[in-house]
Structure 1
Amino acid sequence: MTRDATSFDALYKAEPDPWNYETSAYEAEKYRRCLALLPRCRYPRGLEIGCSIGVMSAEIAQRCDSLLALDFAQTAVARARARGIPNARFEVATIPAEWPAGRWDLIVLSEVLYYLGPAELDRTVTLVAKSLAAGGCCLVAGYTGPTETTLSALDVQDRLLHGLAEAHPRHAIYKDRDASWIAAIFECRTCPAGG
């Protein structure tokens, strides 16, 4: 099953924090370990896809000069905005159709890609590869337990890393995993123009 924006919005209206992002020690530790994989302390422009209610966004924003965080559930985005993170902008958008223009030094895709269909995933991988800045990083993370999705966390991670490696042959990959989640960082090692 691939959920649509309407079903996710209904979920957030019924339960403000349906996955206990704000209170779960498990989630806090996962965020910490995912962001610890990042090879740089600071990123000028960050993009987060599937920001939900903005709990992880607050952590990502601490590593970015500016962060654009997207989700297709309007209720979730409203809750994220209410956090008042000064260097973060939260917008309603459906990916891949409304992928934002520009180059990004950090792209975060945490527990979101397996909600896409195969064709949407392929398009998203292409967009990530095209918009990752020289020297930039992409973080992908996913839950490995049972889900309602057709694609698994390992499926989407493998497809993303493969697509990024084809587009950016000079790269490094860093991985972490726990009993129920996996995460990987793809670091593009192409030098910035003139650098």
Structure 2
Amino acid sequence: MSRDAASFDRLYRETADPWNYETSPYEAEKYARCLALLPPRRFGHALEVGCSIGVMSEAIARRCDSLLGLDFAPTAVERARARRIPGARFEVAAVPEGWPEGHWDLIVLSEVLYYLSAAALDEVIRRVVDTLAPGGACLIAGYLGPTETTLSAPEVEAKLLAALSADRPDHVIRRDAASAWIAAAFACNGAHSSGG
């Protein structure tokens, strides 16, 4: 990663909300538009990778029975826990090594994948494919501006959607974009392909 857990944690210690998730109309609109891409149903078990301070987590939790939010910055996780979101729990973990066991009806990867190395990204994509439940959905969103990373939002989105599409040929992809971000929701209509 171009930025490690310590550098992100330092940002959260210095500023309670470094990206203005709680107060920015831009962020509120982005969350609403991203979540509107998902199938109009309730999800059982959801996983949010890169949950930050839990602002988007609140909206996700309203759509699922249980939510596990992961972030590798301990201060961010403390702030997410302090929100006391019903049905949600938050853990300090880095991916891919901290990927949780189980299958997920919804996996959310918002503005996180391009911070991974190429090898770590490939492993995370494999885990998404392997742990997305039959009939599940995966939401990916990314910032189009400078991120100090090697990979871009369009590149990581394309890689993830190609892997999911190859494994789950019966699917629908819905997309949205604004001048500064892109998002896509992959909704599979069935189980893994015979090769998956």
Q: TM-score of the superposition, structure 2-length normalised? A: 0.96
Say whether residues 1:131 and 2:131 are aligned partners: yes
Counterpart Cα distance in 1 of 2:144 and 2:90: 27
Write the deviation string for residues 146-182 of structure 1: whole angstroms up to 9, x where unpaired. Answer: 2211110001000000111111111111100001100
Give the partner amino acid of 2:85. I
Give the partner amino acid of 1:138. C
Computed over aligned residues only, the root mean square deviation of the Cα atoms, in angstroms, reads 1.1
Aligned to 1:152: 152
Counterpart Cα distance in 1 of 2:68 and 2:147: 27
SS at match of 1:99: coil
Counterpart Cα distance in 2 of 1:94 and 1:112: 11
Counterpart Cα distance in 1 of 2:7 and 2:188: 35
Q: CA deviation at 1:16?
A: 1.1
Q: CA deviation at 1:40?
A: 2.6
Q: CA deviation at 1:188?
A: 1.1
Aligned to 2:61: 61
Counterpart Cα distance in 1 of 2:112 and 2:70: 11
Counterpart Cα distance in 1 of 2:135 and 2:167: 13
Aligned to 1:42: 42
70-79 or 143-152: which moved more? 143-152
Aligned to 1:25: 25
SS at match of 2:51: coil
Counterpart Cα distance in 2 of 1:131 and 1:41: 19
Aligned to 1:75: 75
The total of aligned residue pairs comes to 192
Aligned to 1:101: 101
The answer to whether the Cα contact below 8 Å between 2:114 and 2:150 also exists between their aligned partners in 1 is yes
Q: CA deviation at 1:191?
A: 5.4
Counterpart Cα distance in 2 of 1:66 and 1:88: 6
Counterpart Cα distance in 2 of 1:70 and 1:134: 22
Aligned to 1:14: 14
Counterpart Cα distance in 2 of 1:98 and 1:73: 13
Counterpart Cα distance in 2 of 1:8 and 1:145: 18
Q: CA deviation at 1:86?
A: 1.6
Give the partner amino acid of 2:82. A
- Which stretches in structure 2 are left out of the alignment for 5+ residues? none
Give the partner amino acid of 2:128. V
Counterpart Cα distance in 2 of 1:89 and 1:167: 29
Q: CA deviation at 1:105?
A: 0.3
Counterpart Cα distance in 2 of 1:99 and 1:41: 25
Give the partner amino acid of 2:50. G
Counterpart Cα distance in 1 of 2:94 and 2:143: 21
**What is the percent sequence identity of the aligned residues?**
64
Counterpart Cα distance in 2 of 1:147 and 1:70: 20
SS at match of 2:97: coil
Write the deviation string for residues 103-139 of structure 1: whole angstroms up to 9, x where unpaired. Answer: 0000000000000011100000000000000000000
Counterpart Cα distance in 2 of 1:41 and 1:82: 27
